[in-house]
Structure 1
Amino acid sequence: MRIKILIGLLSLCILNGCAQKKSKVDMNTMIEETFKTTPKHDKQPLYGIQIDKMGCRLSIAINDETLVDYFEKGGFSATETINGHIIKSGNQTLKVMVYPRNGAQFIDDLAHIKLELFYVAQKGDPMDSYKIMKTIELPKDLKEKKLSYFEINIPFEANVPWDFSAFYNNLVDLRKVPEIEKKVIAEYEKIRGLISSNDSNEYLKFILKNQKMEYEAFYMTKDEVNESVNWLIKDATPLENKEVLPMKNYELVFEKEGKKVFLRDRTSRDGAIRIEYGTINTEGDYKGQKSKETSLSPNLILVKGKTEFESL
């Protein structure tokens, strides 16, 4: 889920008054239970990627799962932690997918990428203890090849204190499910309904179902879990001038060997569910438009023997 603006829950309580108190208690109970049942580890290794790109569009995947899509114009620099994309210790795969910059037909000499795959032995260790495992850059002769797409696959090893393989082995290959696109769209419409009606409790129950794996992989403290839940739930709160837009221009995407599916915008790769909110601009190029927006693409899975989608 790509979220651009974080809204605190204080305003939610004010807007809903006493009626919201029950939801607040239920949410706190869910947070407490989620943290309590999340496995804890003394050894807390972290794996991540330092990303620098310009003059191209870029998508990065870890183990057949999208880490980030950088399809915006201009240069970009960021650090991404990849623990949440590692199922178990052993062989891992980093895939780098490069596309021409906006408006260009081929990847040209303006394209620049430098990725540093790094490892740190313990969460919270100082930066000077980080070890660079791999450095990835574009070949210097790429311009002459006139390519509209370029892919780099980098294997690496990871040693982590969890093993989620039993969970993933119990998931259905959604590519084999009849009318899967129709079913995914129907599920997304249900999620849009929860967001539109500000049904924060039901929305939280859905998105929190399997979050414990991510919280375990990032060794989250109770405060960090609380912050994460507040971040996740804000879409199903009564934001100012909130409007959940109809879905359009979306595509169906399978990952994790078909065990995960989601919808995304075909062009921007942003979330298929878009929300506009905030104050209304009264002048300028954006007159009449709301000042803020966010988008999300819930990851859907289906456990063997069940008929209802779950969120991942």
Structure 2
Amino acid sequence: MNIRTLLILVLLSWGINANAQENSTNDDIIIQTFPDYSRKSNTTARSAEEQKVMELVEQYISNTLHEYKTKPMYYLKIKKSECHIIVRINDIPVYEDFSDYDCNYDDYDGTLYPVNSCLPRSGKQTFSVEIYPTGQQDHISDDSSVSLKIYHCPDIDKPEAETNLIEELKLPDNIGTQKLKYYTASATFEASLPFDYSDKLTKARDLTQIPDLEEKVLKQYNKIRQYLVDCNELAYQTQYLSHIIPYMDMRYNSRQEIIDKFCYTEMFDKTSVNRKVAPITDFEMVICGNGKLVMLRNKSEKNSVLQIKSDIINEDGWSIPNNIIIPIILYIPENSDKLEIYM
């Protein structure tokens, strides 16, 4: 089965803008690379648990959201062909594509993904790419092409504001002659932002110094997985919302946008056809964020181990497999020994 899978982590997907949301589809499968919080009608009567989640969202919104005079936005555009890639911003994985599917590189314009949630404060920012050969190649070939571009819009509330290219990263022309099994490159750009959320990560503990880290991370992931198995939305959101809403503030999402996104989710829908939460197996632990963050991902496709599989019945009565991938990154706050959700 030839399946295109664009693996976009939560960092690129919390905005309401449709340009930041890519679902991979074909006739055989639907792969959602971030939790689908938007399909359930907000006119549906809420259960008692959903009402509690709503109240929780309102509480965090009132404590977190700000009004900014200007709303600068930074975007990432990715184009690639004949290779597998992992893209990081400030050493946080934001995009992974380990499928062997390639769009036509010359004709594809690419999508602009907002990346403000990866930029905790003004100043120097880093973006990087790791490049690997496809499953049909022994090394990175002459046909491999990668282009990463950073764009800037000075104020998204002003229609006349232009979005301009400010930095670009490409593969060297002679990459194929080097017969490499792995290649990495990075570049920097300057960002000017109206917020500063840097304390959280700056003060976080260095995970490289934590004993038995993988065992502790796996335990926390299994705890989150059990929330998904039990459809325990309140327990999940209680841990999750306080950490993710600041990143929506960094994206300038409104109160209503956040409510629509988190209060009407089908991720915990017990009536989903053949719903099953995948077991956590064949994984690898990745420490990122300059030693402050950690995640578990599948060894083969390099995406999150937290996945919900179900079937969607189309209008013709056919069953189509549906896979929701839920990216979670953990950290240990200052003066704590407990792993918590970072984003």
RMSD: 2.4
For the structure 1 residues 218 and 61, does the alpha-carbon distance in structure 2 shift closer, same or farther, using more than 3 Å as the test?
same
| Stretch deviating more after TM superposition (32-41 or 54-63) | 32-41
SS state of the match for residue 241, structure 1? strand
Matching of residue 42 in structure 1 with residue 35 in structure 2: no
**C-alpha offsets along residues 196-226 of structure 1, whole Å, 9 cap, x if unaligned?**
1111101111111211320111011112212
Verify the 8 A CA contact 2:50 2:263 in the aligned structure 1: no
Within 1, Cα distance between the matches of 2:202 and 2:169? 31
**C-alpha offsets along residues 164-218 of structure 1, whole Å, 9 cap, x if unaligned?**
2222232111221111111111111111111111111011111112113201110
Verify the 8 A CA contact 1:207 1:311 in the aligned structure 2: yes
The match for 2:122 among 75, 83, 89 is 89
Q: Which protein, 1 or 2, shows the higher relative CO under an 8 Å CA cutoff with sep ≥ 6?
A: 2
Aligned match of 1:224:
257
Matching of residue 33 in structure 1 with residue 59 in structure 2: yes
Correspondence list, 1:74-153, <5 A: 74-76=101-103, 77-126=110-159, 129-153=162-186
For the structure 1 residues 291 and 237, does the alpha-carbon distance in structure 2 shift closer, same or farther, using more than 3 Å as the test?
same
Within 1, Cα distance between the matches of 2:208 and 2:185? 25
Where does structure 1 lack aligned partners over 5 or more consecutive residues? 15-19, 282-286
Aligned match of 1:17:
none
Correspondence list, 1:192-207, <5 A: 192-207=225-240
**C-alpha offsets along residues 280-304 of structure 1, whole Å, 9 cap, x if unaligned?**
89xxxxx9x9611122232111112
Matching of residue 65 in structure 1 with residue 96 in structure 2: no
Matched residues, number: 300
Within 2, Cα distance between the matches of 1:105 and 1:213? 43
Q: Give 2:286's aligned amino acid.
A: V
SS state of the match for residue 69, structure 2? coil
SS state of the match for residue 182, structure 1? helix
Within 2, Cα distance between the matches of 1:11 and 1:162? 31
Aligned match of 1:255:
288
Q: Give 1:303's aligned amino acid.
A: P
Within 2, Cα distance between the matches of 1:61 and 1:93? 8
For the structure 1 residues 127 and 62, does the alpha-carbon distance in structure 2 shift closer, same or farther, using more than 3 Å as the test?
farther
TM-score by length of 1: 0.88
Within 2, Cα distance between the matches of 1:226 and 1:219? 14
**CA apart distance, 1:237:** 2.9
**C-alpha offsets along residues 54-97 of structure 1, whole Å, 9 cap, x if unaligned?**
11111111111011112122225332111111121111111121
Aligned match of 1:296:
326
- The structure in which a higher percent of residues are helix is 1
Within 2, Cα distance between the matches of 1:131 and 1:181? 42
TM-score by length of 2: 0.80
Verify the 8 A CA contact 1:199 1:237 in the aligned structure 2: no
Q: Percent identity?
A: 21
Verify the 8 A CA contact 1:97 1:150 in the aligned structure 2: yes
For the structure 1 residues 49 and 11, does the alpha-carbon distance in structure 2 shift closer, same or farther, using more than 3 Å as the test?
closer
Within 2, Cα distance between the matches of 1:124 and 1:109? 43
Within 2, Cα distance between the matches of 1:255 and 1:272? 16
